[in-house]
Amino acid sequence: GHGVHSPFAYRFVREVLRQPYAYYIYPELDEAARSEGRDPRVVRAMYRTALFFAPTPVEVQSAHSDAVEMALKAGNSHLCNPKETARCIIATDNAIDGVIRYWEQADSGMLFHTPEAAFFVKSKLLPHQRFDILLP
């Protein structure tokens, strides 16, 4: 979060994506992620993102994953369906480039990009910025 000047971006990086504290569900999420060959850090970040935006829906663009579904349902009981407008789009796997292109075409909103995932926070109130970060 150091070098980030936007209060929202600083808070999102420090309190959501790079949160150092453990949550009660981490052992369960880690086991589910490892059983699918997924990075537990990404599944944890998805859980924290869903929790941060609750009850506003989030959208995930990823190959089907029980670990991801578990993380999102635990963090946010209202998941996005195709007819709703999500406040945040999370992408993993081959969908990362698509979300980056979607952010590039937008005139506002922040993209938080890691090597393993992309988190696009859609808001007209946020400047059009990209942050490349690493998950802890």
For the stretch 73-108, pLDDT in tens is 999 866 655 545 778 999 998 999 999 999 999 999
For the stretch 28-58, pLDDT in tens is 999 999 999 999 999 999 999 999 998 888 8
Contact partners, residue 60, CB within 8 Å, separation at least 6: 46, 68, 72, 79, 80, 89, 90, 91, 92
- Describe the strand order of the beta sheet including 88-92 as a list of residue ranges: 58-61, 88-92, 117-121, 110-113, 129-132
Q: How many CB atoms lie within 10 A of CB 103?
A: 23
Taking the model in full, what pTM does it have?
0.90
